[in-house]
Amino acid sequence: MRYRLVIFDWDGTLMDSAARIVSSMQAAARDAGWGHLEAAAVRDIIGLGLPEAIDRLCPGIDAERFELLRSRYVHYFVEADGTPMAFFDGVESGIATLRERHERRLAVATGKSRRGLDRVFRESDSGSWFHASRTADETRSKPHPQMLEELLVELGMPVEEAVMVGDTEYDLEMARALGMDRVAVTWGVHDPGRLAASRPVYTAGTVGELFDWLNRE
């Protein structure tokens, strides 16, 4: 078995949620009086923790407006924005094939909050798929490698037996900083050229390609 631990990013890698993130952030910025945020700019920060994302999107924002924008984003994303979200086609069956190997561990490392990840676990009935998870409000945000370090310790895995799968340079650079193998997926928010700069060991163009590669001996 090539890897005993496979760590997945969530948004843009397993779940097609970018459109809701973009529309929710744009609405929140308008409510906070910041003005219009370009969709491309919002897509670029997907994967970061929410505070880091707001700081990058709204440089120089004051504390009061920051908090308003943050709270309005949560409101839109959780309650008011009806933009649909679903797993990318093939994700559920692909995870099932990985889970058939009982000695393999699966984990999530995400820019979501713990509350947000637990909510989507419940809504998608997917929490039982994973042996561990880390969120940006529990540890340092990507691309700092702390969440990966903590997952390795929790699951008792050496870095050489783990791989990080993600759709952004934040995912890949987080793994690269730790010397962990990394796989890029091209159906998410960062383009293949940008992902290639992080020197992934493999780049998957489809969900099927990803899980075929992960299941190779």
- Return the active site residues: 9, 11
* Torsion angle of the four alpha carbons 208, 211, 216, 217, in this order, in degrees rounded to the nearest 10: -170
Tokens of 206: 């489809």
Locus of tokens 């010397």: 179
For strand 15-16 and strand 86-87, is the pairing parallel, antiparallel, or unpaired? antiparallel
Contact (CB, 8 A) for 211 and 192: no
CA proximity to 94, closest of 104, 83, 84: 104
CA proximity to 204, closest of 4, 6, 5, 1: 6
- 186, HSE (Cβ side, Cα atoms, 13 Å): 13
d(CA 123, CA 78): 11
